[in-house]
Amino acid sequence: MEMIQKAEDRKTLAMAELLKLMEECSKLDAEIRFCTGNLCFTAMVWQGWDSPDPEGKAKEIQTQIKKLAKRYPRVACYCFDEHSTLLYAIC
């Protein structure tokens, strides 16, 4: 029973970190989508196929997100490309 409680505690801590990071990321100019079932969210900076990113704004925001994510040991950050970033809780 104690192992189950410890697992739940880890999940609660990871979720708290994930939500705090999501709050910080929502202040950036990115679209944030939360997925409760998988304890994750995505951050996307995308203007569409007809709107390239000549000033590297998407990459700049992604760099900011990666720096923020380093503050949270229970959150992992994965960059699909320069426009999309997946952040998920490690339980």
Q: What is the pLDDT of residues 24-76, one digit of tens each?
A: 999 998 899 999 788 899 998 877 666 666 668 888 999 999 999 999 999 99
Task: Specify the fold of 2-89.
Answer: 3.30.1240
How far are the Cα atoms of 3, 55, 89 from residue 20, in angstroms, in the given order?
26, 29, 11
Summarised one tens digit per residue, pLDDT across range 2-30 is 777 787 888 899 999 999 999 999 999 88
Domain regions of the chain by residue span: 2-89
Which pLDDT score, from 0 to 100, does residue 48 have?
A: 67
